[in-house]
Structures are given as C-alpha cells and as structure tokens.
Amino acid sequence: MATAREIRLKSRPVGLPTADNFEMATVDLPDPGPGEVQVRNLWMTVDPYMRGRMNDVKSYSPPFQLGKALDGGAVGEVTASNDPKFKAGDLVQSGLGWREGFTAPASSLQKLDTRGLPPQAFLGAAGMPGLTAYAGLLRIAALKDGDVVFVSGAAGAVGSMVCQIAKAKGHTVVGSAGGAEKVAFLKEIGVDHVIDYKAEKDLTAALLAAAPDGVDVYFDNVGGPHLEAALNGARLFARFAICGMISIYNATEPQPGPRNLALLIGKNIRMEGFIVSHHFDLMPQYIADLSKWVAEGKVTWKETVFEGLEKAPDAFMGLFKGENLGKMLVKLA
C-alpha cells in the first residue's frame, strides 16, 4: 500500500480565494481490488469554473465538500491494475486531480491515445478548453464566412484556442488580454488586432478602433466591461458565445449586468451561454481538425506550469490575477 498527498478544501472562499482556504493531507492508497486501478498523476489542471464549485450552491457542477479533496481533470500513469482493461504504464485521463495518486474503479478512467501530442495537452488545447473554443465558435456562435470575431481573455487556455481556430478558418480576429507579455503572445499567434485592456480607458472605443465596422461574433470569457463593449460594437445579427465571466467569479455581491443590454433588440443579437459537457459529441471532429491545424503550423499553445502538488493552490489563485499565459497546469510527477 502506497500513500499520496491531496489538497482539500479547508474553508469556502469569500471573494478571492486565499491559501487559508486549502490544506494538504496524506492518505493511504489501498492496493487495487477487483476492477480497480492505481494511478500516479503526472499533471492536473486548474480552471476558473472550479471557483464556483467552492461556493455551497448548486450549479452545473456539484459544490466541493469541506474537508474533502478537490477534484478536476488529471493525466496519470497506471502503477498497478486489477482490471483487464488497464496495465501498468498506461497513460490515463481522469477527473481525479488535486492529488498525487489514487486507487479507483477502472470505469472512472479513460485510456489516453496521445497521437504524438504531449500528455498534458489533453488538459488544454486537445482537451476541454480546446473543445470549449471549438464548440463555442462553430456551434454556439455559428461562425460563418466573413465574420469578424472578438475574443476576451484571449491569451487564456480557451481564448488562445478561439483566436487560432478563427484565424485557421480565415477570419479577422480582435483579441483582448492584459499586459505586454500576453499582447506579444497574441501577436505571435496571428491575432489581427490586440487590445491590452489594462492600458485602455474606453474598451468600446478600443474595439471600434480595431473593428470599425463592428463585430459579428463575440466569444466571452470574462463578462463585465468587455461584454458591454461587445454589445456596443456588435453588428446587426451578431452572435455571442457566453463561455465564462471570470470578472465576477469572486464577487461577494451580485454584480450588475451590462447597462446596454437593450441593444440586443435593435441589433437582433443572439447571446447564448454554454458549457462544454453538452458538446462532447464534437470531440472526434475537433481532434481531427486540431491535428491538421497543428501539422500545418496554424495552431500552437502555451502552458504556464507550477511544479508540485503543494503549488496547486497558487496556480489556481493565479488564474484570477491573470498569471497564466495559455493553459495553467500543475506538474505532479
């Protein structure tokens, strides 16, 4: 029997999470019983949506429990198997992140066919963030030829894929992100007009300077003033894919929505929220497209890596300070 460290939710954050909200514990990993597998995690992901699960409210994912290990996407290696479908050395994906290892039923694992990509890509560009970008653009926003695309949180795990998918499909892309390093990254991946929102007093003016005829598609990762600017800058029949509102995830009081929401009417704007889990059917098509785009050099990605389970809370908190360029990951082994 081995042991593994795990990160637990010690207390529910009020506003921005702090180190005090987390605690580390060491638990025994029992040898796998019949139908069970033991896994050593190599990588885990931290994502903004996890903030919502730290509140004790029903949402699309169940809330994390106090005193229990957190969870989320992870990639690991089988160390012992008592199930015929897995053998030691297999790479696997699971929803059992925030821990160095675990023993669990084989049914909770998926074998990973990396197709030449690094395994942690399946937590980012080739995983849920990438599929989120793909489904949001193609299915929710119904991207069509000639659309001008505006993306907020453009240098993040989802946003940077939105930008590149839209560019790969031949669109003009306006991306907004904060700070010189992110601006440089967005230019590097071919974004046509980059807005450094931290340097702009008037986001609407910045958007209209970048897209004088307005935008047809807005991919929203942040909410708040970006959403207001997108409404102001939208063209007739614009489509908004509402993916995240990181600007309000840590708010302790309800935040007012956009003051210009009535623009929906005259501009006939369609605004649609979505979560990726309703779009898993697109995964095979996405991976096929992604492989092609990667081979053609049209899509690339960045990772911001924290090393060691003890750094996972810092990685998570860093999401809300804009510390990540591309996918925020924790390397566990």
The nearer residue to a copy of itself, 56 or 307, going by C-beta atoms, is 56
Q: How far is the CB of 276 from a copy of itself (least distance, A)?
A: 11
The nearer residue to a copy of itself, 179 or 214, going by C-beta atoms, is 214
At residue 249, φ and ψ (nearest 5 deg) are: -60, -30
The nearer residue to a copy of itself, 112 or 271, going by C-beta atoms, is 271
238/328 Cα distance (integer angstroms): 31
Q: How far is the CB of 279 from a copy of itself (least distance, A)?
A: 10
The nearer residue to a copy of itself, 60 or 280, going by C-beta atoms, is 60
CA 244 vs CA 172, 219, 303: distances in Å: 22, 9, 20
| 228 touches 257 (CB < 8 A) | no
At residue 25, φ and ψ (nearest 5 deg) are: -140, 160
98/228 Cα distance (integer angstroms): 36
The nearer residue to a copy of itself, 4 or 222, going by C-beta atoms, is 222
Q: How far is the CB of 16 from a copy of itself (least distance, A)?
A: 17
Q: How far is the CB of 262 from a copy of itself (least distance, A)?
A: 5
Q: How far is the CB of 211 from a copy of itself (least distance, A)?
A: 18
Chain centroid offset of residue 43 CA: 15
H helix intervals, 113-155? 128-135
State both tokens at 10.
């010690």
| 82 touches 36 (CB < 8 A) | yes
Contacting residues toward a copy of itself, per CB under 8 A: 59-60, 223, 242-245, 248, 254-275, 278
State both tokens at 146.
């000639």
